[in-house]
Structure 1
Amino acid sequence: MAKGGVFCVEGQWHRDLNDQSSVLPTLELLQRLQAIRFIHKDVATREELAYFLDRWLLRQYADFKVGFFAMHGEPSKLCLTDRDTVELDEVADMMAARCEGKRLYFGSCSILRASDARLHDFLDATGAALICGYTRDIDWVESAAFETVALQILANGDRADAVERRMGSTAWAPLASYLGFRIVYANGRTWRPDARSRVPTQAAAV
């Protein structure tokens, strides 16, 4: 059976052109493990972001139901580079009414710290099934470890709440809580892992 597809747009993280930091190795690992299939595109401007999102939403890529936004972020804002940002509302306009059934993962610091109203407006505008991501500044290695699990569940889970069910009842719950992970569903419901959870001591060595 073909594995679920992840479409990733990655911002340009650093000013130094020699820096090779990227989520690409995480995606390649998951594909080699036959956990997902993926398409990865680099974006540095809002025009590039709009172009690749438009291509992703063509019918021929319908089985790539997870949209993964890998870039720096602030509440309600994506940072494509150190100089170019785009508001969450602008991203919604780029995908307006074309994301039915899509699951959108923002691997960006603090972007899910936006208000409930703004996130629900985003879902209403795009038609996506859910939006998820982090409510705090995150560490690269910790988030990468979390995403190796979250992305494959989003891509392959039959239920929209598959990540919630898995992360809320396993050893991943403390890390999800520590990262400030949050899910907002199109039906208006939101979910966070138990706030009392803490990252296990051994996780600090990851």
Structure 2
Amino acid sequence: MDKPGSVFCVEGQWGDDLAERGSVLPTLELLERLRRIRFIHRDVATPGELRFYLDQWLSRKCTAYNVGIFAMDGGPGRLCLSGQHELDLAEIVSWLRGRCEGKRLYFDCGAILRLSETALVEILEETGASMVCGFTRTIDWVGSSAFDTVLVDRLANGRRANSVEQLVRTARWAPLAQHLGFRMIYQHSQGPRIPAMRRPEPVVPV
């Protein structure tokens, strides 16, 4: 069996309700039990906490953790860490500038990637990441959890740069990717590639 991929996840506080139990953690635990990933998960509620854990992730001791997940509420170009703290995506990018070589960044944050193609290219090039992906719509928790399971597995274990694109173009997952407004950009031999997420042609029975 191949060595499982490694994931580093920072998760914000979902709203002001302290009884809220939504979390990406069960998805990570499931994949770990299936021996698909190993992971580090940290809760963050303030910019200081987020920056501290990102510095830990990008330190030498966490080199193997090549997938970074930002699991929190958000909007176009904006992350909500808690009811009291928001951050512009541009500020996060400034913290990551030139430090993410070979990393895959997954912004599991509402409509955060409802941005221009120019902005997406800038994020990829400024961070040095090999891939950036996320959503352009506010996402449904149940549907996104199902999508998270296969997406995180592919992010952590897909060896080729276009492996995620291949996943979200399959007949099974393309409709859900489109419904969630999934978007991605990755480093390609000919430069940054932003694939269009199209619904696949229906299968005609024979």
TM-score, normalization: structure 1? 0.91
1: distance between equivalents of 2:160 and 2:137?
A: 26
Q: Deviations over 1:50-98 (max 9, x none)?
A: 1100000012211111000000111111111122111111111111111
Identity of aligned residues (%): 51
Contact 2:174 2:200 in 1 (8 A): no
Alpha-carbon distance between aligned partners in 2 of 1:158 and 1:196, rounded to the nearest angstrom: 24
1:77-156 maps to which residues of 2 (within 5 A)? 77-156=78-157
Compute the displacement of 1:188 (Å).
2.1
Helix, strand or coil for the counterpart of 2:192?
coil
- Supply the distance in 2 between the matched residues of 1:26 and 1:109 (Cα, whole angstroms): 17
Tell me the amino acid that sits aligned with residue 193 of structure 2.
Answer: R
CA distance in 1 between partners of 2:192 and 2:137 (Å): 22
- The whole-number CA distance in structure 2 between the counterparts of 1:192 and 1:182 is 8
Which residue of the partner structure matches residue 202 of structure 1? none
Q: CA–CA distance in 1 between the matches of 2:57 and 2:147?
A: 24
| Cα deviations by residue, 1:118-166 (Å, 9 ceiling, x for unpaired) | 2211111110011101111110110010010000101011112111112
Greater Cα shift, 129-138 or 12-21: 12-21
Match of 1:203 in 2: none
Q: Which residue of 2 aligns with 1:23?
A: 24
How many Å separate the matches in 2 of 1:126 and 1:197?
A: 35
Indicate the SS of the match to 1:69.
strand
Amino acid at match of 1:176: A
Number of positions where the alignment pairs a residue of Structure 1 with one of Structure 2: 198
Residue of structure 2 in register with 1:157 after alignment = 158
Tell whether the 8 Å contact from 1:14 to 1:81 is kept in structure 2 after alignment: yes
Whether 2:192 is the aligned partner of 1:188: answer yes
Q: Distance in 2 between matches of 1:111 and 1:78?
A: 7
What stretches of structure 1 move > 4 A for 4+ residues in a row?
195-198
Amino acid at match of 2:155: L
Alignment root-mean-square deviation, CA: 1.5
Distance 2:182 2:20 in 1: 27
Unaligned runs of 5+ in 2: none
